[in-house]
Amino acid sequence: DQQVKQNSPSLSVQEGRISILNCDYTNSMFDYFLWYKKYPAEGPTFLISISSIKDKNEDGRFTVFLNKSAKHLSLHIVPSQPGDSAVYFCAASAQDNDMRFGAGTRLTVKP
Residues that bind other proteins (CB under 8 A): 6, 31-32, 34, 36, 41-46, 49, 51, 89, 91, 93-104
Closest CA to 17 of 76, 62, 63, 78: 78
Residue number with CB closer to other proteins (6 or 80)? 6
Q: Could you report how far apart the first and last alpha carbons of the chain are, in Å?
A: 38
CB of 6 to other proteins, least distance (A): 7
Residue number with CB closer to other proteins (18 or 99)? 99
Strands of the chain (E only): list them: 4-5, 10-14, 19-25, 32-38, 45-51, 56-59, 62-67, 72-77, 86-93, 99-101, 105-110
CB of 15 to other proteins, least distance (A): 26
Give the DSSP letter of residue 71: T
CB of 17 to other proteins, least distance (A): 25
CB of 29 to other proteins, least distance (A): 12
Residue number with CB closer to other proteins (32 or 62)? 32
